[in-house]
Chains A and B, each alone.
Chain A
Amino acid sequence: MNMRDEIKNAFDSVHAPDELAERLKQELYQKDCHEEIEEICIVEEAPRRRIGHYAAYIAAALALCIGCGFSIWSLRDNTTPLNPSTTVPVMTTAAEETTETTSDEELHAAEAEVYQQMLAAHAMEQSRQTVTKTS
């Protein structure tokens, strides 16, 4: 018998254990089942969550839109036209008011009168002093 035949015979007598092959099949089958179960769970849960999850958001967004629309509508009814020439009052100071009421001539006349009174008072004071000296 040559070497090739001997090696063939030797390896032909070797077989994979049956229990190993069976165990391998069961492991592969169970592994596949677990993967399928996970996939099914995701597929089933996703629609339920989507409806429940987005219904609240849709309702909130709708309420917000209605509120904003209503407030804009009511504001549009009560608006007053903005016209600066009629609505904004002209602010004036007290000094500006006096200058408007009293003219320059009157001011000068008043100042002259005060000056005349001061001169008269000064003259009277001087005459009183001369009287006391002579006496």
Chain B
Amino acid sequence: MLTMQEQSEGRTVDIGKPQNIKVSGVTFAAIDRYKDMVYRAALAAVGNFADAEDIMQEVFFKYFKTHPQFESETHEKAWFLRVTVNESRNLLRSSWHRRRIDADLSQITQPENRRNSAVLEAVLSLPEKYRIAIYLHYYENYQIREIARITSQSESAVAQQLSRGRKKLQKKLGGSKE
């Protein structure tokens, strides 16, 4: 980690403490606060770690470029999730991504615990639309209406995706119940 301290135009920048750095008026604290959430949402959306890293970078570049103003922390969180979902969709739609050969999940999954790894693998092996709905509902605790807003879909479509996704996941996990 860098410990350089720089003064220019009356502004003090301490690289040793990333949360204090301001880029165009926005603090780096947002990265520390939302990096894991954005990374997980991107992983759920695109289904592999390499693309999730790219999505995470894109989302934060967009955040520092647009300087969005938020009414509350909930609003800010929803903004990050929505941008992550949109960026993931753009990546999945690109012709370059379609031609790629998907990496072997078993080699790149991070979880230490075997069961966690199996669950994660099962979630990531679901079709894209089910993955996002499952992640937002079960992990981020969003209701169907909120998921519909974040993913720009109708509530009935989200409800259907959740129902089908749940069934598929239960099959894959061997009958686990909610």
Binding site for B on A (CB under 8 A): 1-4, 6-17, 20-22, 24-26, 28-29, 31-32, 35-36, 40
Contacts and interface: CB of A to CB of B under 8 A. Distances in A.
Contacts of B35: 16, 20-21
9 contacts: A3-B169, A8-B138, A9-B113, A13-B116, A14-B36, A14-B110, A16-B53, A21-B35, A32-B24
Contact of A20 (B8, B24, B53): B53
Chain B's interface: helix, strand, loop or mixed, by majority? helix
A interface, by DSSP: helix, strand, loop or mixed? helix
A17 B57 CA distance: 12
A32 B31 CA distance: 16
Interface residues of B, number: 47
Nearest to A32: B23
Interface in B1-59: 1-2, 8-9, 13, 15, 18, 21, 23-24, 28, 31-32, 35-36, 38-40, 43-44, 53, 56-57
B62 to A, nearest CB: 11
Contact of A2 (B40, B116, B176): B176
B110 A13 contact: yes
Interface of B: 1-2, 8-9, 13, 15, 18, 21, 23-24, 28, 31-32, 35-36, 38-40, 43-44, 53, 56-57, 60-61, 64, 110-113, 115-117, 119-120, 123, 134-135, 138-139, 166, 169-170, 173, 176-178
